[in-house]
Amino acid sequence: MSKSESTGATDTGALEIKDTRTGKMYTVPILEAGTEGDTTARAMDLRQIKQSDDEFGLMTYDPAFMNTASCKSAITFIDGDKGILRYRGYPIEQLAEKATFLETAWLLRKGELPNQQEYDSWVHDITFHTYVHENVKGFLQGFRYDAHPMSMLCSTVAALSSFYPDAKNIQDPEERNISIIRLLAKVPTLAAFCYRHTKGLPFIYPDNDLSYVENFLSMVARMSEPKYEANPTFVKALEVLFILHADHEQNCSTNAVRAVGSSHVDPFSAVAAGIAALYGPLHGGANEAVLRMIKEIGDPKNVPAFIEEVKGGKGSRLMGFGHRVYKSYDPRAKIVKKLADEIFKETGIDKDLEIALKLEEAALNDDYFVSRKLYPNVDFYTGLIYRSMAFPTEFFTVLFAVARTAGWLAQWEEMLLDKEQKIARPRQIYTGHPERSFASQLGNARGNAIPHVRST
């Protein structure tokens, strides 16, 4: 076993590849690059495989990154078959039970748990950067009353980059630090402002006496009372949900943040890209989709017919089920289900929860779902919890975004400090026309269209 000079990884053997086109043999090292025994081969090692010197060389083809590691990361570990999720080595179950969200955010970024002094100054800095420039309020007023809060959040986070032009100095550790603090501090404020805008309610300024979660709930829900006192069960639940959603290694939105950040744009723009990716119904939008699905089912007695529709491929998928990585119960879903039980003890069980329970039971006992290893994911019960806390459905993914900002920023900084990373720029397999000569298909020679005004 030898050490590879270029990767620092241990060489645990090699692939002997024979190109049947040329009869040539190639040796490609197998690298054990991870602490949990992940093995890889470098795609660039295949480039040497070619039929002639002027050929580009063999590429790998992997749509949707089904089997491609795009980076090395020391932040989050997932074993999808065993249902394991750890941040920096700590099991998610322990963090959910014992940590605070800001402690978790520090851990994700720095790699170790903060001591008291580090934690106090981290919390202080984040607390005192929660205010946003007054112009942001004017900007939000430009959105229509029914604008989706994820569209608003995405645009306002992107707009923050224009307020902090120095944030583009991403190689300066001080600038990176203040940008990270600003994002963690201001995303909840922007999220709450988006909520207030959709409700036509005045914006509530941050209250620096409150904890991160309490302050967020205050900005969302405070009315005429001078001091907002949040329901402690809801505060605890949201703290846990934020921890569960804080990171999830190379998911779609994190990959978006890393890819966009790899162009060395400022972190506000990179995080806005993550929010855009999270908005989609196959990613963070799934918790919203679960509730819509439950509403559509309408009654527990309609569950068997709905399951048959899903299996027949006629209706939609069973939202909140399945995961690209987890092929057993999503460990976050277990914690969320327990949390849901505690919340519903307080708020009561309703028909929607009954539908959800029946759906879960039906799917877990149905060969279609069992054989495809489709288990409830984190989004299956979170929507029901959020709704029982009186958040509107459109707001669920915003809550996810507030929490995931911690992971996006940790991953963004790790990417920047990784000497092996360059601008993300995949290859393609071109399937279009070979070269051909231009011959206009329009009536007049240069194709000058007559300008006309289109209705919008």
- Binding residue for ligand CMC, selected from 157, 158, 310, 398, defined by CB under 6 A: 310
Closest CB 137 distance from ligand CMC, rounded Å: 30
Of 319 and 385, nearer to ligand CMC (C-beta) is: 319
- The burial class, CB within 10 Å (0-12 / 13-18 / 19+), for 55 is exposed
Q: Is 336 among the residues that bind ligand CMC (CB under 6 A)?
A: no
Residues 209-238 that bind ligand CMC (CB under 6 A): none
Q: Is 321 in the site for ligand CMC (CB under 6 A)?
A: yes
Considering the rule CB under 6 A, would residue 251 count as an interface residue with ligand CMC? yes
Q: CA–CA separation, 11 vs 1, rounded Å? A: 6
133 binds ligand CMC per the rule CB under 6 A: no
Note whether 72 binds ligand CMC by CB under 6 A: no
Query: 240-271 burial, b if ≥16 CB within 10 A, otherwise e?
Result: bbbbbbbbbbbbbbbbbbbbbbbeebbbbbbb
Residues 6+ apart with CB under 8 A from 418: 71, 72
Question: One symbol per residue from 355 to 394: x for binding ligand CMC (CB under 6 A), - otherwise; what is it?
Answer: -----------------x-x--xxx---------------
Long-range contacts, stretch 220-225, CB < 8 angstroms, 24+ apart: 220/192, 220/195, 220/196, 220/391, 221/390
State which residue has the least CB distance to ligand CMC. Answer: 322
96's tokens: 């959910």
* Catalytic residue (one of 323, 350, 352, 418): 323
Report, in angstroms and rounded to the nearest whole number, the Rg of the chain calculated over CA atoms: 25
Would you say 176 or 404 has its CB closer to ligand CMC? Answer: 404
Q: How many CB atoms lie within 10 A of CB 164?
A: 18
Catalytic residue at 124? no
Q: Is 170 in the site for ligand CMC (CB under 6 A)?
A: no
The verdict on 322 binding ligand CMC (CB under 6 A) reads yes
Q: Is 148 a catalytic residue?
A: no
Catalytic residue among 379, 418, 433, 452: 379
Q: Which of 204, 213, 241, 318 binds ligand CMC (CB under 6 A)?
A: 318
Q: Is 271 in the site for ligand CMC (CB under 6 A)?
A: no
- CB 255, min distance to ligand CMC, A: 11
- The torsion of the CA quartet 140, 146, 147, 152, rounded to 10 degrees, works out to 40
Q: Which amino acid is at 177?
A: N
Which position among 282, 305, 349, 370 is part of the footprint of ligand CMC (CB under 6 A)?
282
Find the shortest distance in angstroms from Cβ 32 to ligand CMC.
Answer: 26
Q: Does 283 bind ligand CMC (CB under 6 A)?
A: yes
Contact 382, 338 (CB under 8 A): no
Query: Minimum distance between the CB of residue 122 and ligand CMC, rounded to whole angstroms?
Result: 27
251 Cβ neighbours under 8 A, 6+ residues apart: 283
Residue 405 has phi, psi (to 5 degrees) of -55, -35
Active site residues: 323, 379
Footprint of ligand CMC on this chain (CB under 6 A)?
251, 282-284, 286, 310, 317-324, 372, 374, 377-379
